[in-house]
């Protein structure tokens, strides 16, 4: 709880910015909002190292995920999936499966004559008392198909990019006299092709749900990133049963990750609702790991072709970019982002094309389009800097006008030891190292969205209840997919009421509570946090009225300080004041107002990451030996969980950079490594020492200055690692993942190893 006088709603002046870069700006605060925090605010628990409020529940196994929900007599569901990559469903015989002992329901999910779009497309669903009985019933379903020629590789598509044996894109550039002139006037020019592979989401908890009907009302326990969105989706899918949104209650109190793959309920949630309706018995349908890899979307593959020019003083003068996204059957969602914060005065041209394949569709994955695009662009910048003889960090300093990232460059390079870590002779061992190993360091930048579009959504709300015994509830119906939103809510409420965080019970994941956003675009915290704080502020005002009446002082004199309420020498502790409430709790609802009108200090979220690698020249293995991330995230509310987000993003980035790759059988159209034995992800032995430095920025967008943190720190890691490999071996590996065969090929290319 702040100890300083807060400005009132209306036009206010707020001290915004970050340490060393503060200034006072005017903002229009909506009537009815809580007085906004700014850089003058003194916090008690906001920004502290409070542990996760649900940490013990998760560590002890008491947290109940959708996978853990069960009922007496529950049935299990399973989906028959197409073995054909492209074609049409011509026959579907279900009677033999329906007649099997114990089988409770068999339903068609695809109508005869409909298209089959990929291996794994859903055809029918069954429900039975055990999974073994489900498998037996699936075997008895007779489905026939009319197959068509298919393609699972976007580079082999008729409209795909033409790539030669060396991996270079060979199509000539479209004519543009202005671009050609800018390139011709450049001191240094470079052209390169960069490529990434499909990455699956690999969430801890697979997709699926438990469905239970109570007459005409449906309850769902779903592993989802969008409680309210999926509720509406299922209600629409169940229109034949006269189901409306107010008949569906969705629970997602604990979710085992999603990374963007769980915005939709998918065929599995629709199927489990239908099976439960048909049997009038609770049904659980959770996907297995192969289904998770092959049927629930992915980060699409990409190819980027870049040419650019640099002036004699290191300023980018031209930037020509064309990219391709290798999507699934939907043919969309493969957009590739790039760090355009370096292209302030450069002549710029960008084009992009999505290319469909007969595979499961692309879905959003943590900072969609950014990790792949930033990998290509940031590695290209390092190659351009090397050709020009410029330090790559200095190249970025020269071309980046964002003051937050400039501060991150300075702090990051000093903390990481940039100059000492750089390999002065890429391709040669560092002094004192074994000649077998090559060491190098790299760095890359990150950005995410604009705070105008991603800095919080409306309308959403939160509820705060203060009980007679001093207990406090803070509630919102959105999901916490593992990032720590409950902790954020508890800290904000405790800060506003001046009580310990342990006294606050934070509840999320039930659509019976006020609405919240889907967990996407790094919008959950900035959408919910201002509403949570406002709800606590309004509840505090109500409690203050009771205290004023009891103490016989004017309401406008009531102050809150040091956990006490009162004025003029008359004080009550929070617990004493709560005893005045009576049997019915104080209940206040706070809404999320639109972002403030005014001059925000920043219009996005910035980050910089550094990485060091050790390359074994005998085996081609790359090991990341240390990493550092600097990340701005608005006001840091829950420091420990925020750091966890950044560290987790770096781990995911290492996995993407070095290990993850979907392998498809071109003949059958089937994924060959749809399990964790053959689909490689980072393991504990591969984890390097990592450090996260959080940068609080008072942005002036809301009463908390909160910003999202899901996407931004996942952007830079793959590029930083690729740049470190380039610095170590002297040759850029332009194709993710950076596997031993590619490293050995690069070493052979430069000779001598």
- What pLDDT, in 10s, does the model give residues 265-312? 999 999 999 999 999 999 999 999 999 999 999 999 999 999 999 999
| Domain end position, chosen among 401, 421, 436 | 401
Q: Does 588 share its domain with 600?
A: no
> Mean pLDDT of all residues in the chain?
95
Residue 282: inside a domain: yes
Residue 21: inside a domain: yes
Q: Output the pLDDT for position 750.
A: 83
d(CA 523, CA 461): 14
Q: Does 428 share its domain with 531?
A: no
Q: Output the pLDDT for position 456.
A: 77
- What pLDDT, in 10s, does the model give residues 591-607? 999 999 988 787 789 99
Q: Does 562 share its domain with 670?
A: no
d(CA 257, CA 690): 22
Residue 753 pLDDT > 50, yes or no? no
**Confidence category of residue 453, pLDDT binned at 50, 70, 90:** low
Q: Output the pLDDT for position 5.
A: 45
**Confidence category of residue 455, pLDDT binned at 50, 70, 90:** low
| Domain end position, chosen among 401, 417, 435 | 401
CATH code of the domain covering residue 136: 3.90.1170.50
Residue 181: inside a domain: no
Q: Does 641 share its domain with 735?
A: yes
Residue 3: inside a domain: no
* Number of structural domains the chain divides into: 5
Q: Output the pLDDT for position 177.
A: 97
Task: Name 686's Cβ contacts closer than 8 Å, sequence gap at least 6.
Answer: 623, 624, 654, 658, 659
Range of the domain at 563: 463-475+493-505+519-594
Mean pLDDT on 103-107: 98
CA angle 232, 237, 241 (to 5 degrees): 105
Residue 514: inside a domain: no
CA-nearest of 381, 393, 307, 378 to 348 is 307
- What pLDDT, in 10s, does the model give residues 702-717? 999 999 999 999 999 9
Mean pLDDT on 436-459: 85
E-assigned strand segments in 235-388: 248-251, 283-286, 298-299, 301-310, 316-326, 347-355
Q: Output the pLDDT for position 1.
A: 43
Instruction: For strands 622-632 and 690-695, give the pairing.
Output: parallel
Q: Does 288 share its domain with 340?
A: no
Is residue 349 helix, strand or coil? Answer: strand
pTM for the full predicted model? 0.96
- What pLDDT, in 10s, does the model give residues 181-213? 999 999 999 999 999 999 999 999 999 999 999
- What pLDDT, in 10s, does the model give residues 116-128? 999 999 999 999 9
CATH code of the domain covering residue 715: 3.30.365.10
| Domain end position, chosen among 579, 594, 609 | 594
Residue 443: inside a domain: yes
> What's the Cα-to-Cα distance from 87 to each of 83, 108, 530, 593, rounded to whole Å?
10, 17, 50, 49
Residue 2 pLDDT > 70, yes or no? no
- What pLDDT, in 10s, does the model give residues 38-94? 999 999 999 999 999 999 999 999 999 999 999 999 999 999 999 999 999 999 999
Q: Does 663 share its domain with 732?
A: yes
Helix H or strand E encompassing 235: helix 227-237
Q: Does 89 share its domain with 196?
A: no
Residue 431 pLDDT > 60, yes or no? yes
Q: Output the pLDDT for position 689.
A: 98
Q: Output the pLDDT for position 562.
A: 84
Q: Does 611 share its domain with 740?
A: yes
Q: Does 604 share its domain with 740?
A: yes
Residues 535/41, Cβ–Cβ less than 8 Å: no
User: Residue 487 has which token pair?
Assistant: 């902790």
CA angle 55, 56, 58 (to 5 degrees): 65
d(CA 472, CA 493): 9
Q: Which residue has the higher pLDDT, 438 or 561?
A: 438
Q: Output the pLDDT for position 599.
A: 82
Residue 553: inside a domain: yes
Q: Does 24 share its domain with 111?
A: no
d(CA 271, CA 244): 17
Q: Does 191 share its domain with 302?
A: yes
Residue 579: inside a domain: yes
d(CA 478, CA 251): 9
- What pLDDT, in 10s, does the model give residues 648-697? 999 999 999 999 999 999 999 999 999 999 999 999 999 999 999 999 99
CA-nearest of 411, 124, 127, 74 to 267 is 124
Q: Does 276 share its domain with 375?
A: no
Task: Name 572's Cβ contacts closer than 8 Å, sequence gap at least 6.
Answer: 547, 550, 551, 564, 565, 566
């Amino acid at each position: 709880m702040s100890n300083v006088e807060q400005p009132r709603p209306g036009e206010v002046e707020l001290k915004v910015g970050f340490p060393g870069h503060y200034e006072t700006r005017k903002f229009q605060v909506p009537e009815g909002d809580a007085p906004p925090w700014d850089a003058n605010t003194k916090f008690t628990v906001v920004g502290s190292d409070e542990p996760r409020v649900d940490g013990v529940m998760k560590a002890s196994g008491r947290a109940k995920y959708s996978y853990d929900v069960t009922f007496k007599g529950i049935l299990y569901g399973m989906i028959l999936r197409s073995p054909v990559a492209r074609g049409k469903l011509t026959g579907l015989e279900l009677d033999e499966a329906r007649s099997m002992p114990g089988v409770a329901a068999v339903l068609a999910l695809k109508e005869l004559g409909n298209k089959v779009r990929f291996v794994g497309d859903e055809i029918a669903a069954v429900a039975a008392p055990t999974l073994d009985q489900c498998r037996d019933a699936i075997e008895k379903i007779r489905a026939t198909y009319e197959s068509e020629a298919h393609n699972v590789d976007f580079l082999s598509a008729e409209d795909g990019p033409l790539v030669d044996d060396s991996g270079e894109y060979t199509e000539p550039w479209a004519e543009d006299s202005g671009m050609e002139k800018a390139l011709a006037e450049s001191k240094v020019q470079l052209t390169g092709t960069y490529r990434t592979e499909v990455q699956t989401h690999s969430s801890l908890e697979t997709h699926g749900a438990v469905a239970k009907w109570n007459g005409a009302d449906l309850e769902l326990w779903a592993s989802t990133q969008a409680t309210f969105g999926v509720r509406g989706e299922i209600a629409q899918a169940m229109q034949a049963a006269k189901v409306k949104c107010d008949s569906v209650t969705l629970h997602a109190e604990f979710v085992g990750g999603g990374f963007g793959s769980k915005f939709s309920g998918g065929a599995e949630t629709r199927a489990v609702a239908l099976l439960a309706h048909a049997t009038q018995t609770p049904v659980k349908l959770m996907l297995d790991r192969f289904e998770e890899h092959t049927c629930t979307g992915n980060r699409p593959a990409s190819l980027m072709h870049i040419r650019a020019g640099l002036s004699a003083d290191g300023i980018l003068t031209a930037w020509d970019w064309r990219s391709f996204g290798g999507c699934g059957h939907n043919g969309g969602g493969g957009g590739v982002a790039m760090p355009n914060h370096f292209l302030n005065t450069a002549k710029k041209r960008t084009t992009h094309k999505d290319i469909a394949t007969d595979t499961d569709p692309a879905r959003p994955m943590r900072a969609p389009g950014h990790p792949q695009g930033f990998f290509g662009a940031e590695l290209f910048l390092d190659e351009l800097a090397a050709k020009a003889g410029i330090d790559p960090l200095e190249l970025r300093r020269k071309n980046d006008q964002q003051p937050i990232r400039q501060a991150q460059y300075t702090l990051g390079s000093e903390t990481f030891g940039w100059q000492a870590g750089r390999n002065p002779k890429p391709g040669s061992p560092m002094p004192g190292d074994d000649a077998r190993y090559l060491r190098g360091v790299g760095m890359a930048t990150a950005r995410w969205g604009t705070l105008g579009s991603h800095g919080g959504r409306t309308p959403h709300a939160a509820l705060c209840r203060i009980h007679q015994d001093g207990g406090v509830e803070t509630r919102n119906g959105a999901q916490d997919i593992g990032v720590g939103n409950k902790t954020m809510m508890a800290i904000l409420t405790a800060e506003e009421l001046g009580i310990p965080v342990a006294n606050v019970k934070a509840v999320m994941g039930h659509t019976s509570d006020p609405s919240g956003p889907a967990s996407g675009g790094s919008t959950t915290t900035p959408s919910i946090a201002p509403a949570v704080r406002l709800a606590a502020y309004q509840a505090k005002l109500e409690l203050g009225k009771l205290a004023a009446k009891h103490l016989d002082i004017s309401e406008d004199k009531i102050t809150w300080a040091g956990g006490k309420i009162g004025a003029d020498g008359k004080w009550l502790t929070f617990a004493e004041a709560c005893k005045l409430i009576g049997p019915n709790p104080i209940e206040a609802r706070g809404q999320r107002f639109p972002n403030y009108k005014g001059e925000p200090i920043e219009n996005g979220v910035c980050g910089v990451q550094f990485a060091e690698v050790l390359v074994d020249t005998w085996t081609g293995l790359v090991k990341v030996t240390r990493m550092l991330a600097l990340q701005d995230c608005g006001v840091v509310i829950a420091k420990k969980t925020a750091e966890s987000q950044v560290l987790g993003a770096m781990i995911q980035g290492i996995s993407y950079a070095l290990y993850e790759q979907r392998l498809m059988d071109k003949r059958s159209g089937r994924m060959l490594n749809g399990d964790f034995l053959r689909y490689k992800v980072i393991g504990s032995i591969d984890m390097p020492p990592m450090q996260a430095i959080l940068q609080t920025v008072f942005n002036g967008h809301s009463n908390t200055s909160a910003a999202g943190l899901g996407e931004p720190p996942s952007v830079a890691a793959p590029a930083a690692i690729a740049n470190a490999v380039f610095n170590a071996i002297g040759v850029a590996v332009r194709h993710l993942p950076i596997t031993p065969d590619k490293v050995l090929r690069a070493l052979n290319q430069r000779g001598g190893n």
